[in-house]
């Protein structure tokens, strides 16, 4: 999880984006933009706001699933920039 580093630690590290890194990122973005639409998510995708009950209270979450068929599940936990006060 995020026990070792906080967002303040990352800000103090001052990791700049170098010109070469930026150019590589732009190249990847250009190639991705040229891919056919079939490479994108096909079919419908459903998303809803949900509330998950935990021992400490409730958690706001967003559930996204394909419109049809069985697919593996993926759990994303963006703890650093989450909904914490």
d(CA 83, CA 85): 6
Query: Which carries the bigger pLDDT value, residue 37 or residue 70?
Result: 70
Residue 35 burial by Cβ neighbours in a 10 Å radius (0-12, 13-18, 19+): exposed
d(CA 73, CA 70): 9
pLDDT, tens digit (0-9, with 9 covering 90-100), for 4-61: 767 677 677 776 778 888 899 999 988 888 877 655 656 788 889 999 999 999 988 8
Token representation of residue 50: 């949900």
Phi, psi at residue 65, to the nearest 5°? Answer: -145, 150
Q: Where do the structural domains in the chain lie, given as residue ranges?
A: 7-66
List C-alpha distances in Å: 71 to 43, 52, 67, 85: 13, 21, 10, 34
Q: What pTM, to 2 d.p., does this model score?
A: 0.43
């Amino acid at each position: 999880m995020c026990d070792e580093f906080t967002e303040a630690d990352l800000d103090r590290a001052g990791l700049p984006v170098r010109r070469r890194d930026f150019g590589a990122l732009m190249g990847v973005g250009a190639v991705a933009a040229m891919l056919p639409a079939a490479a994108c998510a096909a079919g419908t995708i459903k998303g809803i706001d949900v509330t998950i009950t935990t021992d400490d209270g409730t958690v706001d979450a967003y559930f996204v699933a394909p419109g049809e068929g069985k697919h593996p599940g993926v759990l994303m936990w963006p703890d650093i920039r989450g909904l914490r006060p």
